[in-house]
Amino acid sequence: MSHPALPAADAAFAAALAESPRGPVRDGAFALWLVVRAALGVAPPLGPTPKHPERLKAVAARLRSLNTPGPLRRSLTAAMADLHRGTAPAVVLSHLIAPTADTLGRRLADGVAAAARAARPPKAA
């Protein structure tokens, strides 16, 4: 089962990856996509699974091997630490919007913002 917002996020990141040349920008977009997918994987309505800690460790290991722009790398490292601590996925994703806009452009930042909105828990009636 996957998060309902995942297809839209995947499409935005696939387009960005296809358009970007090899190097830090492409690696940054890929790294951001990995973190967005990890955050949406624990967002409501899904919630964490027993395999969640292992998946986060795998994503963190993959992030270390990528050549991402400095400000984005620091933000992604902080986001992964927040996800490990159990911080709400919507909060984690909202903290990535500004560094994404600064390093990768507004279009991907808008995609992260949409994912952050989708990761919010439903309002109680």
Classify residue 78: in a domain, yes or no. yes
Classify residue 98: in a domain, yes or no. yes
109 and 101 in contact (C-beta within 8 Å)? yes
- Kindly state the average pLDDT of the residues 72-88: 92
Classify residue 16: in a domain, yes or no. yes
The structural domain count of the chain equals 1
Classify residue 125: in a domain, yes or no. no
Contacts of residue 4, defined as CB under 8 A and 6 or more positions apart, other chains included, come to: 118
What is the rounded CA–CA span in Å between residue 80 and residue 83? 5
47-78 pLDDT, tens digit per residue, is 666 777 888 899 999 999 999 998 999 999 99
Residue range of the domain that includes 64 = 6-118
Classify residue 123: in a domain, yes or no. no
Classify residue 124: in a domain, yes or no. no
112 and 93 in contact (C-beta within 8 Å)? yes
86: left (phi over 0), alpha (psi -120 to 50) or beta: left
Indicate if the pLDDT at residue 95 is higher than 90.
yes
